[in-house]
Structure 1
Amino acid sequence: MSGYCDIAPGHPLHGPYHDREYGFPQRDEAVLFERLLLEINQAGLSWETMLKKREGFRAAYSGFDVDTVALYGEEDRARLMADAGIIRNRLKVEAAIHNAQVIRRLRTTHGGFAAWLDAHHPLPKADWIKLFKKTFRFTGGEITNEFLMSLGYLPGAHREDCPAFRRASKQRPPWMIAAGH
């Protein structure tokens, strides 16, 4: 996504995300869930829209607390579908709740979401996509690719001459470790 390195720096929304988050490894479950939820909701929309609505999503989805979202019932679904601060799409709302439930189960089977990602890394992109489609809802190829690239599991978030690439590299993203860098 080297084009992102051209347009993002200095932009009020894209700039901070590009410079401090995109391509940087993360371990915190709420951060991983947030990224998955935002990537799913971005389908058909711009990433700028997601960044603008990010705080709305944080408020609507209980600060991205997996345990709370996993227990959402019909009242919560109705609340989310009426919330103009997020993307009001029933399939995406259902996917968020279902995926929170899946992440809770990953604690038992793998010790958590980050540990599940680590247990399957490195996989070729096509295998990641199959795994995500089998495990989560609303995770097609582009969503899975962007999610993994945004967290450093797949390369390509930044050009090598981008200052953010150097900062992310210092944190040893999983793709760099797998590549022997």
Structure 2
Amino acid sequence: MEKPSSYCQAVSLMEAGNVHTHYHDKEYGFPIDDDNELFARLVLEINQAGLSWTTILKKKDNFFRAFDDFNIQKVARYSDKKVEKLMQDAGIIRNRLKIDAAIENAKRILQIQKEFGSFKNWLDAHHPLSKEEWVKLFKRTFRFTGGEIVGEFLLSTGYLPGAHINTCPVYKTVLKSKPAWVRKKS
């Protein structure tokens, strides 16, 4: 089988109904307005580092349960006891650096919300930036955010183009949702 050149082609070569199909067709590249959902996507991207996206998608429901549906205020208040509970949870990625990053990033998003009103407003205020500029901004602002993590976060939430190729059946649906990369900066 020929190696797919995009996530769209890879998903089309997989069996229908696998964990990638819903994500590709309903989530990947679509804008997210809710701060808790944006935070969830960031944490999931951080947890993917060094692992396959399939692993993360299979554990996605467990992550939401373990991290209180990614309620930013709750995660920002996690105690050492909660961290130890997470470290024992086989349903998620048990990596202390990634868990600590989720907690610290929740605290930083709370600060962003105070200054900008929301995490989404902060993202919109910095759009459009090049991928390199986004990476520098995220590295200054958040923990555990390298180039791949930031790039995938921004692709998956509609801030950078390229989540879907123009021949992908989902491409036009994504365009109708008006992701940030198709909007002009006001």
Q: TM-score range by the shorter chain?
A: over 0.9
Find 1:35's aligned residue among 41, 50, 53. 41
**1:58-86 deviation line (CA, Å, top 9, x unaligned):** 01100110000000010011001111000
Q: Check if 1:7 corresponds to 2:10.
A: yes
Give the structure 2 partner of residue 134 of structure 1: 140
CA separation in 1, counterparts of 2:18 and 2:173?
A: 20
Cα drift, residue 2 of structure 1: 5.3
1:45-64 to 2 correspondences below 5 Å: 45-64=51-70
CA separation in 2, counterparts of 1:110 and 1:174?
A: 17
Give the structure 2 partner of residue 25 of structure 1: 31
1:1-181 to 2 correspondences below 5 Å: 3-9=6-12, 10-178=16-184
- CA change 1:42–1:105 in 2 (3 A) is same
Figure out how many residues of one structure are paired with residues of the other and give that number: 179
CA separation in 2, counterparts of 1:11 and 1:160?
A: 22
Q: Normalized against structure 1, the TM-score is what? A: 0.96
Cα drift, residue 12 of structure 1: 1.4
Q: Which secondary structure does the structure 2 equivalent of 1:163 belong to? A: coil
% of aligned pairs identical? Answer: 54
CA separation in 2, counterparts of 1:2 and 1:76?
A: 41
Q: Normalized against structure 2, the TM-score is what? A: 0.93
- Letter aligned with residue 177 of structure 2: Q
Gaps of 5+ in 1: none
Q: Which secondary structure does the structure 2 equivalent of 1:146 belong to? A: helix
- Letter aligned with residue 87 of structure 1: I
